[in-house]
Amino acid sequence: MKQCPTCNRTYANDKQKFCTQDGVALVDAHSASAGQGETVRIDSAELDDEITKAISKGLPRMTGSGFDPYKTTVSAPQETSAIPSQETEAPRAQAPAPPPVPLDQVAAAPVAPPPVAPPAQAPAAPPPPVTLASPATNVPPAQVAAAGPVTPPARPPKKRSKLPLILGILFVLLLLGAGAVVAGYFFVLKPMLEAKRGAIVEPRHPKPTPVVATTPDVGKTKPEVPKTEPPPYSPPANAVQFVNSNANLTGKLAEHYVDFSFYYPKPWQKDPKSGVAGATNFVRVERSLPPNYTLENFAVGWYSSAGSAEADRTTFARLAENLSAKFEKTIDNYRKVSEQETKIGPYDAYEFRFAGRSQPTDKGQFEIWGVAVFVPPVDGGKDGVTLLMLATSLAPELTSVNDVGVKGQLPMMLESFRFGK
C-alpha cells in the first residue's frame, strides 16, 4: 500500500509512484508511519503506462493561477477530510478536467525529490485546502470556500395585473359623471326651465259672443235645425257647375226635389235623359271612351229621409241592401265589397262599394266598380240624396274598387257637392 506524505492519501496499487492530487512521490504506508526521514529516488524510466494514465487523469486544470498540472510540486500535508478522495468521494464542482497528457511529456518532466521532514519535530499544521477559482465568475478561491454552496438567485415576484385598477378608476369616473349630470339638472337646467316657463305669457282668448236663442214656434211640428255653412269650393279653370232646378221636373223627381250643386270637368258629357219625366236621377254626367264605353260616371238621385243623419242611421243598412239587390240583377259576377259610414265634403254619409264584370264586348270583358252614397239632408228636410259613382278598368288611373272617388276625375264632384243654391 502506498501513501502520500503530503496529503496522507493512501493508494492500494503498489505500482503507483506519485500522488494524483499534488504530484508528490508516494512512500510505503508502513515506512511513512515509522519515519519520514528517508529520501526515495525514483527514476522516470520506471513509470509505466498505467501509472502515467492515473497521474495524468487526475490532474486538475488550474486556469488563471500559477499552478502547473504538468509539474510536480511540494506542498505541506493537507487534511484528508478537506479534500475528497478520488476513489471514494465524488469531486466537488470544479473546472472541467484537462485532456490526457502524452506519455513522453510525463517521462520528460523532472521529478522533484520529496522533502525530508525532521524526525524529532511534530508535523506542521496542514494549510487550508486549495480551492480552484471558477473561470466563469473570477471569484478568488478563499471567497468561494468561505461562501459555501452557491444559492441560485431568487425569482422576481410575479407582476400583478393592472386591469382591476383600471376598471375601478373607470367605475369611479362613471359615478362622478352621473353625479355631475344629476347635479347639473337640479342646479342649472331645472331653474332655467322654470324661469323660462314663468316668462311665457298665456295668450288672451277672445270672449265668446253671446248667442241669442230664438223662441221656437209651437205651431210647427218639427224643431228648426241650425244650418251648417260649408266652406266655399274653388273650382279649376276647366270646371262646369251644375245647379239643380225643378223648372222642368215632373213625377217623383218633382215631388222629392232637393236643392244642390256641384262641379264636373268640361270634357264630361251630361246625359240628356236625366231630369226628365220618367227619369230616376236628377242629373248624370259621364266620361266615356268612343264609341260608348264608360270610363267614369256620376249620378245624383234621392231617397226618403227622416230629416238628419242621426235619424237615418238605423235605415242606412236597409237602403244599401235594397239598392244592392237592383245592381245584382244588371251586373255580371256582382258582389258587395264593403259597407260603412263615410264623409262627402263637409257632410256625414253612408256608403257601400261593389264590383262586377261587363258583358262581352269588342274590347272583351272589363271590370266594373261602383260606390253608392246616402247623404242625409242638413235642413231637416224629408229627402236626402243618393250619389252613385261607376267606373271601369278601361280608365287608366283606376286599378280596383278602392280607387273609385279617390283617383281619376270623380273626386272633383265629391269635393264640390253642396246642398242649397
Q: pLDDT (tens digit, 9 = 90+) per residue, 215-236?
A: 555 454 555 555 557 888 999 9
Single-letter amino acid code for the residue at 21? Q
Distance between CA atoms of residues 217 and 196, nearest Å: 56
Distance between CA atoms of residues 216 and 32, nearest Å: 166
264 and 410, same domain (yes or no): yes
Residue 95 has pLDDT above 50, yes or no: no
Cell of 396: 287608366
Cell of 132: 480552484
Cell of 367: 271590370
Q: For 299-357, write each residue's pLDDT tens digit.
A: 999 999 999 989 999 999 999 999 999 999 999 999 999 999 999 988 999 999 999 99
Q: For 355-366, write each residue's pLDDT tens digit.
A: 999 999 998 999
Number of domains in the chain: 2
Contact residues for 224 (Cβ-Cβ < 8 A; gap 6+): 216, 380
In this structure, are residues 111 and 71 in contact, taking their beta carbons and an 8 Å threshold? no
Give domain status of residue 27, yes or no.
Answer: yes
- pLDDT given for residue 37 in this prediction: 46
Give domain status of residue 367, yes or no.
Answer: yes
Give domain status of residue 211, yes or no.
Answer: no
Give domain status of residue 342, yes or no.
Answer: yes
- pLDDT given for residue 219 in this prediction: 52
- pLDDT given for residue 379 in this prediction: 86
The secondary structure of residue 89, as a DSSP letter, is S
Domain that holds residue 33: 1-139
Q: For 265-295, write each residue's pLDDT tens digit.
A: 999 999 988 877 668 899 999 999 988 899 9
pLDDT class for 105, splitting at 50, 70, 90? very low
Which of 139, 154, 169 corresponds to the end of one domain?
139
pLDDT class for 31, splitting at 50, 70, 90? low
- What Cα–Cα distance (Å) separates residue 393 from each residue in 296, 401, 406? 10, 9, 15
The model scores a pTM over 0.75: no
Average pLDDT score over the chain: 75
3-state secondary structure of 130: coil
Give domain status of residue 346, yes or no.
Answer: yes
